[in-house]
Amino acid sequence: MNDIARERNIHRTTIAAALERAGVAQRPKGMNAEQVDQAVEFYVSGLSLATVGSRLGFTARTIRAELLKRDVKMRPRPGW
């Protein structure tokens, strides 16, 4: 959606509103409980936040936020 907004020089919320008016189904916002469970499992097994996010279709930032809600201890970032 962001790419389309840039191409048309309009805000992404304008596109979202037009899609909603047209009855186009949009993906749910945020992660459901099963996705968070899977993210916890992946992260605890040693995968990075970025890898977990790629596998589940979310950003590393979203994954981190959801894991913190579940009180999952974050590993230090490499090089920090």
Mean pLDDT split into 10-residue runs, the chain, 80 residues: 88 91 84 96 97 95 97 86
Helix axes 60-69, 33-44, angle to 10 degrees: 100
Tell me the C-alpha distance between 76 and 80, whole Å: 7
The pLDDT score that the predictor gives to residue 37 is 98
The pLDDT score that the predictor gives to residue 1 is 73
The pLDDT score that the predictor gives to residue 58 is 93
The pLDDT score that the predictor gives to residue 26 is 80
Q: Is this prediction's pTM over 0.75?
A: no
